[in-house]
Amino acid sequence: MKWSQSRVSLPLPNVHVSLEDEPGSLHRGSKPRLVTRVYQKSLNSYLYIPWKSCHSVQSKRAWVKGELIHYVRISSREEDFKRMQVLFTQRLCDRGYPGKWLSKVFSEVSYAEERPHALDSKLPIPPWECEKHRLYVLKLTHNPIWEEINFNLIWGILREAWNECGLGKSTDWFLASFKEPAALGDVLNKINHETLNAYQV
């Protein structure tokens, strides 16, 4: 285990905090600036979800974007965010992620656009507001075809139909939840189990 001590620099679980006069120069003058960067342990193996996993492309896209936004939130300077982008790209490519796909997803996260709102407080919806926004969940078995469907259009049509029938309100929320399809091995194991039980009787 490595120990260090400093009055102007401190690594925390996932953020490095320092007092600097200029980028990369620790505080020695009279007007320091608080700088935060992404901190990652030297023993981190970066074993991200491999590209060939059974997770949907949308799931992979969502967590990659989420990680980038996380980097924006922590990085008080854009140059530090760009450095993390390069490292993140290399590590994802090592896990089999296609470069063109990564470029497209990375282009959806802009430091200039995200940073002004990155530190906004995400307060939970108060109970009196929850009553106005009822949530309905559509439970589906995962299938790659769902990735090509725009659920916002479905929710819009469903909301209009419910309003006309008096079953819902314009403030209702809709969400699709996917469960993993049954694997062939699980189905065969269940059949074998039932067959063995039948013979034992």
Distance of alpha carbon 25 from the chain centroid? 32
d(CA 138, CA 167): 16
Q: Give 12-38 pLDDT, tens digit per residue.
A: 888 888 887 665 555 565 677 888 899
CB count within 10 Å of CB 20 equals 19
pTM above 0.75, yes or no: no
Distance of alpha carbon 35 from the chain centroid? 24
d(CA 140, CA 84): 36
d(CA 10, CA 166): 58
Residue pair 58/147 in contact (Cβ under 8 Å)? The answer is: yes
Q: Give 103-152 pLDDT, tens digit per residue.
A: 999 999 999 998 888 777 665 655 545 566 777 888 888 777 777 788 88
